[in-house]
Structure 1
Amino acid sequence: MSQPEIRALLRSRQYLAFWLGQVTSTVGNQLTVVVLAAMVVPDRGPGTFGLVLAVESAVIGVLLLVGGVFADRYSRSAVMAVADVLRLVGIVGFFLFASHGPLGPLLVAAALTGAGAALYDPAHRAALAQVVPEELRQQAYALDASTKRLGSMGGALLAGVLLAGIAPPKALLVDVVTFAISLATLVWLRLPPVRTALDAADAGGAGGARDAGPGGLRAMLAEAREGLVEVRQRPWVSALMLQGTVQVFFFFAPNYILVPIVSQSRYGVAAFGWVSAATLAGSVVGSLLAARVSVARPGLWAMHALAPCVLTPVCLAVDVPLSVFCAAGAAGSAGISCFMVLWYSSLQREFPEQVQGRVFALEGMAGFALQPVALAVTPLIVRFIGMAPFATVAAVVLFVSTYGVLAVPGTDRFATPVRTRETPVLAAAGKEKVTCG
């Protein structure tokens, strides 16, 4: 990303507030994970810590689409502010119950932080279109992705420094400050709802499910279904979401479970730190490089960027030097970051603004669907068939799923081939058309 592009983004007071809120929120999230482990594991054991993370993940999975509906229905900055309030309350619950006391309130706190994340993520991704002009959105996504990675690293480092000098509960109070800063930026931002008065009138007069009113369950279910229809109308989007679900099982889960085990057993206890550092560096580089991609077929470039992900399973199967292991992690992470910037930018170009919250929620659900299962069963599969066979299968599946989606029309350009067609969400009015491609 060029300096003029960065200056153009940061000159916008709206984007600057949006960006600062995201950075502080990311730092706080990572700090919470590290400090929470230091509070829960010594007193309650690793099993309880795993249960807390499982509850948080389960709530995210259940409520993510609800978060997408809210992001399209209400002010996205307000939805993110509510999400931060929920997470603040959850952090207070961690402060009170992480180390001692009944288990129930601790799990409630985890559920609140999960609910906050489910509300925050779709609204945050969809809100970018409201604060950044279309010609700078790809660059904005690149800056967003790179600062998230750096913010996560900063949060982990800050947690380490704090834990070295003060008790974990006091370190957790610093997280309250980060979320308070994020909340302040969102209150100042005050983005208007994306729904126009005409949209609301059409929704209220369409009959059927809409009769339940703006807050009714039937209306929410109808809106969630509209998001599903929008995605189904674009087979290339559905194919890429399915690709994400598959690759979570064969790449992300092995990265979380197998890479730490293999790196430490082969190269020593400090090796995973080097692999993690290389992976982080690769993700930042990939995000920044993606901001400079301007081609007629961004989808094809995105698949080429994903291809190096197969190197990590290969390194799990074959005993390579640590430097090669690190390089493989960096290359795969750079490719994923590049893909994500191009992917998210294409979703905002492709879908009407008033459904983007639900689309991003569905995209998140597709990526999240198999994650808990994959994390649970990957070690069992490796124990049953061995590391090398599993890694070989993973490499083949990753390669085939990466390039196989190009057979679906539109994937190579990240755009629907049909030039003009009616979108389901706008079809109720029977008046509007959307140009795609």
Structure 2
Amino acid sequence: MSAPTIPATRRVEKLTGHPRFLRVWASQSAGAVADQILPVAFALHAVQNGAGAGTIAVILAGRAIALVVCLLAGGILADRVSRPRILFTADVLRTVIVLGTLLTLTHLPLAALGIVTALSGVAEALSRPAMRSLVPALLPTALLERGNALVAAVQRSATLLGALAGAAIVTAIGIHAALGLAAFLFATGALAVLGVRDTVADTRDRSSVLADAVAGINTVRHRPWVVAVMAAVAVQLFAGTAPSLTLLPLVASERLGGELAYGLVLAAGAAGALPAIALAGRWRPRRPGAVSMIALVSYAALPASLAFALPLPVTALCFALGGFVVELWFVYWLSALQREIPAEMLGKTLALDQLSAFALLPVGYALTGPAVAAFGIQPTLVAAAVLTAAATAVALLVPGVSTFSDPARAGRAGPGGEPTGPA
């Protein structure tokens, strides 16, 4: 008797069967390391040269401002032209920007590094919507969570490596070596994506740019659950991320052990994301929005950990918790948008998602210095923690947020479109 065969319908697809996806994944992983090296290197370079919170905020805010200004344009481009070509161009631009900074660094005032981060942010604004909207074109729907989790896992691992490498290289060798490594990684990312084709690009309609922008805004506006989550994340970046990242190098220098402690805390945030990515890639809860948004409330641990005189291991643990909950939310949220939003609107919607998230970030950076001057570090960070937690909790009151889907569909289908019973 011959051995029984497994029906073809039960064959489990693997990511290794999609080489185009793997090449794009490799390209963006190299860039993720470089993306993390730059802010760490610039922030430590500023601290070594006597900069305060205001200068550090200017350096970090450059990227955020560029993202706010250019993300929608990046989303429109992602729905109109070849997305792999956008990724290649963005990495080439960042390579040139970093090499130019490397050659002129000794002549640049510290505040001018904000311009460098802004120029790099323009290239990032082009690549973000293109990358995230390209994934559904490279993978079947059933592999979206796993694919997004793999992208997030390697990017988070790269972020951990970049934070440690940036801090260690600047401390032991100098900022020039760190910038050289970043330029090499951006160039490697550009080469990796060469030859990847986006077949969907050939079938897209060519409406006007203004009509594209309006259509993207309407796609989001007609989904209140999307608006609610975007607003909550915008407040989190404003109140949680901006004060924490601005004050962390100063707090690390004063009471956590110095410059290397800064890199270790950032690396802990990246390390904390890894188990969340593994969990989200395998576990598909019936209410992914409720799971991830409730978890996201604890992102308030970042500013709270800096508000009090906690030892380095505890501070690192709080940042690790922040990395865990952000990545858990991100995989479920991105996969939901990729399923719920029509393909021709996806690039613009993802751009608006990023645009809304970063809209208040420059404001947060700008207000951190004056707030510290007026109220002190501890009251500023305590207020930031309270606002961070409250914004996420309130978003759960909006229908559709708990399932990350339109309320009319929530009772009929699970996160992947599978029929479900009553909640």
TM-score range normalised by the length of the shorter chain: 0.7 to 0.9
Give 1:388 shift. Answer: 4.5
1:343 pairs with 2:333: yes
Amino acid of the structure 2 residue aligned with 1:285 = P
Give 1:193 shift. Answer: 3.7
Q: Secondary structure, in 3 states, of the residue corresponding to 2:84?
A: helix
1:15 pairs with 2:4: no
Corresponding residue number in structure 1 for 2:3: none
* Counterpart selection for 1:417 from 404, 407, 423: 407
1:137 pairs with 2:152: no
Q: Secondary structure, in 3 states, of the residue corresponding to 2:408?
A: coil
Corresponding residue number in structure 2 for 1:191: 198
Give 1:52 shift. Answer: 5.9
CA distance in 2, matches of 1:158, 1:23: 15
CA distance in 2, matches of 1:137, 1:70: 22
Corresponding residue number in structure 2 for 1:116: 123
Q: Secondary structure, in 3 states, of the residue corresponding to 1:60?
A: helix
Does the 8 A contact of 1:317 with 1:389 survive in 2? yes
Q: What stretches of structure 2 of length at least 5 have no aligned partner?
A: 1-10, 411-416
CA distance in 2, matches of 1:16, 1:223: 30
Corresponding residue number in structure 1 for 2:222: 233
Is the alpha carbon distance of 1:406 and 1:19 closer, same or farther for their aligned partners in structure 2, counting shifts above 3 Å? same
Deviation digits for residues 384-409 of structure 1 (CA, Å, limit 9, x no counterpart): 23445444433332332222112111
Give 1:103 shift. Answer: 11
CA distance in 2, matches of 1:268, 1:168: 20
Deviation digits for residues 146-174 of structure 1 (CA, Å, limit 9, x no counterpart): 21122123234445666688775565444
Corresponding residue number in structure 2 for 1:206: none
Q: Secondary structure, in 3 states, of the residue corresponding to 1:291?
A: helix
**Cα root mean square deviation, aligned:** 3.5
Does the 8 A contact of 1:43 with 1:100 survive in 2? no
CA distance in 1, matches of 2:367, 2:120: 25
Corresponding residue number in structure 2 for 1:85: 92
Does the 8 A contact of 1:69 with 1:223 survive in 2? yes
Give 1:114 shift. Answer: 2.7
Counterpart mapping for 1:147-186 below 5 A: 147-159=154-166, 169=176, 172-186=179-193
Corresponding residue number in structure 2 for 1:275: 265
Does the 8 A contact of 2:163 with 2:267 survive in 1? no
Number of aligned pairs? Answer: 401
* Counterpart selection for 1:363 from 344, 350, 353: 353
CA distance in 2, matches of 1:245, 1:286: 21
1:379 pairs with 2:369: yes
Deviation digits for residues 189-225 of structure 1 (CA, Å, limit 9, x no counterpart): 12124462xx52xx5xxxxxx5xxxxxxxx2122111
Does the 8 A contact of 1:40 with 1:98 survive in 2? no
CA distance in 2, matches of 1:104, 1:328: 30
CA distance in 1, matches of 2:173, 2:250: 30
Does the 8 A contact of 2:95 with 2:183 survive in 1? yes
Deviation digits for residues 333-383 of structure 1 (CA, Å, limit 9, x no counterpart): 211111111111111011011111111111111111111111121232234
Is the alpha carbon distance of 1:7 and 1:93 closer, same or farther for their aligned partners in structure 2, counting shifts above 3 Å? farther
Q: Secondary structure, in 3 states, of the residue corresponding to 1:98?
A: helix
CA distance in 2, matches of 1:111, 1:264: 26
1:67 pairs with 2:57: no
Amino acid of the structure 2 residue aligned with 1:148 = Q
Is the alpha carbon distance of 1:112 and 1:319 closer, same or farther for their aligned partners in structure 2, counting shifts above 3 Å? closer
CA distance in 2, matches of 1:93, 1:314: 38
Corresponding residue number in structure 2 for 1:288: 278
CA distance in 2, matches of 1:68, 1:225: 12
Does the 8 A contact of 1:194 with 1:353 survive in 2? no
CA distance in 2, matches of 1:118, 1:156: 21
Displacement over 6 Å in runs of 4+:
37-50, 101-108, 164-167
Corresponding residue number in structure 1 for 2:32: 26
Is the alpha carbon distance of 1:110 and 1:326 closer, same or farther for their aligned partners in structure 2, counting shifts above 3 Å? closer
- Which structure has more relative contact order (CA 8 Å, sep 6+)? It is 2
Give 1:76 shift. Answer: 0.8
Give 1:95 shift. Answer: 3.2
Does the 8 A contact of 1:419 with 1:436 survive in 2? no
Deviation digits for residues 293-338 of structure 1 (CA, Å, limit 9, x no counterpart): 2111110101122122233444444544544433322222211111
CA distance in 1, matches of 2:195, 2:123: 19
Corresponding residue number in structure 2 for 1:404: 394
Give 1:25 shift. Answer: 1.3
Counterpart mapping for 1:205-216 below 5 A: 210=207
Is the alpha carbon distance of 1:380 and 1:339 closer, same or farther for their aligned partners in structure 2, counting shifts above 3 Å? same
Amino acid of the structure 1 residue aligned with 2:215 = E
Amino acid of the structure 2 residue aligned with 1:136 = L
CA distance in 1, matches of 2:280, 2:40: 30
Does the 8 A contact of 1:308 with 1:328 survive in 2? no
Percent of aligned pairs sharing the same letter:
34
CA distance in 2, matches of 1:357, 1:114: 18
Amino acid of the structure 1 residue aligned with 2:212 = E
Corresponding residue number in structure 1 for 2:296: 306
Is the alpha carbon distance of 1:78 and 1:6 closer, same or farther for their aligned partners in structure 2, counting shifts above 3 Å? farther
When structure 1 is superposed on structure 2, of 368-377 and 226-235 the one drifting more is: 368-377
Is the alpha carbon distance of 1:417 and 1:244 closer, same or farther for their aligned partners in structure 2, counting shifts above 3 Å? same
Corresponding residue number in structure 1 for 2:4: none
Is the alpha carbon distance of 1:167 and 1:7 closer, same or farther for their aligned partners in structure 2, counting shifts above 3 Å? farther
Give 1:112 shift. Answer: 4.0
Give 1:97 shift. Answer: 2.3
CA distance in 2, matches of 1:260, 1:6: 46
Is the alpha carbon distance of 1:253 and 1:44 closer, same or farther for their aligned partners in structure 2, counting shifts above 3 Å? closer
Q: Secondary structure, in 3 states, of the residue corresponding to 1:400?
A: helix
CA distance in 1, matches of 2:180, 2:263: 27
Does the 8 A contact of 2:44 with 2:167 survive in 1? no
When structure 1 is superposed on structure 2, of 37-46 and 369-378 the one drifting more is: 37-46
Does the 8 A contact of 1:243 with 1:402 survive in 2? yes
